[in-house]
Amino acid sequence: MAVKSMGEYDFPSRSRQELYGDDQLVSVWFQDTMWFASPAMFRAPRAMTWADFRDQMFVPFAEEDPDYDPAAPRTWMLHGAPFEPRDDQTLAELGVRHKDVIGTRVAA
């Protein structure tokens, strides 16, 4: 169903990717703890490597949890399936799109 309006109704998204230049929005969803009240959102370059994303964005956020264990191996989810990012792959190479949500939990 479309918006019912008196005239043409077609306006661009207010958060489309081009508004972020070479960057995009990426969220991280902590799937095994309720400590963080919601997933966290970051602005990250598409050319950022996984190692940089993890160390510069994810870790400084995650370590606010007193139970965060930096040594614990983690599993990662993207688009509803587990994925195993390599440190040198960029977000773009990993297929992380603008506004994608990456799930994570400590590996069982």
Partner 1 sequence: MTLAPENKTKKAKKLSMKARYEALTRGLDWEPSYVEKDEMFPHLDYEGIKIHDWAAWEDPFRLTIDAYCKYQAEKDKRLYAVLDGFAQGQGHLGLTDASYLNAMKIFIQGVTPLEYGAHRHFAYLARHFAGPGPRFAALCQSIDEIRHMQTEIHTLSNYNKYYSGFHNWPEEYDRVWYLSVPKSFFEDALSCGPFEFLIAVGFSFEYLLTNLLFVPFMSGSSFNGDLPTMTFGFSAQSDESRHMTLGLEAIKFLLEQDEANVPIVQGWIDKWFWRSYRVTALVAQMLDYMLPRKVMSWKESFELYFEEQMLGGLFEDLAFYGITPPRHVEDAIKEKEILSHQVYWTLYQFSFAAAFTTSAPSDEHMDWLSQAYPDTFDTHYRPLWEKEKKNIEAGGRHFAPGLPQLCQVCQVPMLFTEPGDATTFAQRESEFEGEIYHTCSNGCQWIFEREPEKYRQAWLPVHQIYQGNCGGPTVPEVLEWYGLQDGDAGEYIGSRDHRNWQAWQGEAAADTATPDETKAGA
Residues in contact with partner 1 by CB under 8 A are 1-6, 9-17, 19-20, 25, 27, 29, 31, 34-43, 60-61, 64, 66-67, 97-101
Kindly tell me which of 60 and 88 has the beta carbon lying closer to partner 1.
60
Residue 95: left (phi > 0), alpha (psi -120 to 50), or beta?
left
Token digits of residue 17: 């990717």
Kindly tell me which of 72 and 86 has the beta carbon lying closer to partner 1.
72
- Rounded distance between C-alpha atoms, residue 87 and residue 79, angstroms: 19
Kindly tell me which of 81 and 88 has the beta carbon lying closer to partner 1.
81
Q: What percent helix, strand, coil does the chain show, rounded to 5? A: 15, 30, 55
Minimum CB distance to partner 1, residue 84 (Å):
21
